[in-house]
Structure 1
Amino acid sequence: MAQAARALWIVAPEQVDLRPVAVEPGPGDVVIETLYTGISRGTERLVFQGRVPESEHATMRAPLQEGAFPAPVKYGYCAVGRVSTGDRAGQVVFVLHPHQTRFACPAQMAVPVPNGVPPARAVLAANMETALNILWDAQVAPGDRVAVIGAGTVGALVGYLAARVPGTDVTLIDRDGARAALAEAFGCRFAQPEAAQGDADVVIHASASAAGLGTAIGIAGVEARVVEASWYGSGETPVALGGAFHQRRLQIISSQVGRIPASHAARWDYRRRMEVALRLLVDPVLDRLISGETRFDDLPRDYAGILAAAGTLCHRVRYGA
Structure 2
Amino acid sequence: MKATALWTIAPHRAELREQALAVPGPDQVLVDTIATGISRGTERLVFEGRVPESQWPAMRAPLQYGDFPFPLSYGYAAVGRVRAGGEALLGRRVFCLHPHHDAFVAPASMCIPIPDAVPDHRAVMAANMETAVNVLWDARPMVGERALVVGAGVVGLLATFLLARIPGIDLAVCDIDESRRAIVESFGARFCAPDEAPDHRDLVIHASASPAGLRLALSRCGFEGRVVEASWFGDKEVALPLGEAFHAKRLSIISTQVGQVAPAMRGRRGYGDRLALALSLLDDARLDALLGPGIPFKDLPQSLGKVLSPPAGDAQPLCPFVTYI
What does residue 225 of structure 1 align with?
A: 226
What does residue 298 of structure 1 align with?
A: 299
1:140-177 Cα deviation digits (max 9, x unpaired) = 01111110111000000001100001111111110111
Give the stretch that moved more between structures: 80-89 or 3-12: 80-89
| Cα distance between partner residues in 2 of 1:28 and 1:255 | 32
1:15 to 2:24 alignment: no
Give the stretch that moved more between structures: 257-266 or 9-18: 257-266
1:199 to 2:200 alignment: yes
Residue from 282, 302, 321 that aligns with 1:316: 321
1:95-144 Cα deviation digits (max 9, x unpaired) = 00000000000111100001211111100000000000001111101111
Deviation at 1:312, TM superposition (A): 1.4
Deviation at 1:242, TM superposition (A): 2.2
What does residue 81 of structure 2 align with?
A: 82
What does residue 25 of structure 2 align with?
A: 26
What does residue 271 of structure 1 align with?
A: 272
* SS of residue matched to 1:120: helix
Aligned partners of 2:138 and 2:263 also within 8 Å: no
* SS of residue matched to 1:121: helix
| Cα distance between partner residues in 1 of 2:101 and 2:265 | 33
| Cα distance between partner residues in 2 of 1:273 and 1:217 | 29
| Cα distance between partner residues in 2 of 1:220 and 1:208 | 18
Deviation at 1:90, TM superposition (A): 1.2
Give the stretch that moved more between structures: 121-130 or 243-252: 243-252
What does residue 44 of structure 1 align with?
A: 43
* SS of residue matched to 1:264: coil
What does residue 125 of structure 2 align with?
A: 124
What does residue 183 of structure 1 align with?
A: 184
Letter in 1 for 2:246: F
Deviation at 1:63, TM superposition (A): 0.4
Unaligned runs of 5+ in 2: none
| Cα distance between partner residues in 1 of 2:240 and 2:8 | 32
What does residue 169 of structure 1 align with?
A: 170
Unaligned runs of 5+ in 1: none
* SS of residue matched to 1:285: helix
Paired residues, number? 318
* SS of residue matched to 2:121: coil
What does residue 62 of structure 1 align with?
A: 61
| Cα distance between partner residues in 2 of 1:143 and 1:175 | 26
Summarize the alignment of residues 216-255 of structure 1 with structure 2, pairs less than 5 Å apart.
Answer: 216-255=217-256
Give me the CA root mean square deviation: 0.9
Deviation at 1:241, TM superposition (A): 1.1
Letter in 2 for 1:274: L
Deviation at 1:240, TM superposition (A): 1.8
Deviation at 1:178, TM superposition (A): 1.1
Letter in 1 for 2:2: A
Aligned partners of 2:228 and 2:254 also within 8 Å: yes
1:20-46 Cα deviation digits (max 9, x unpaired) = 111103331100000000000000000
* SS of residue matched to 2:79: strand
* SS of residue matched to 1:265: coil
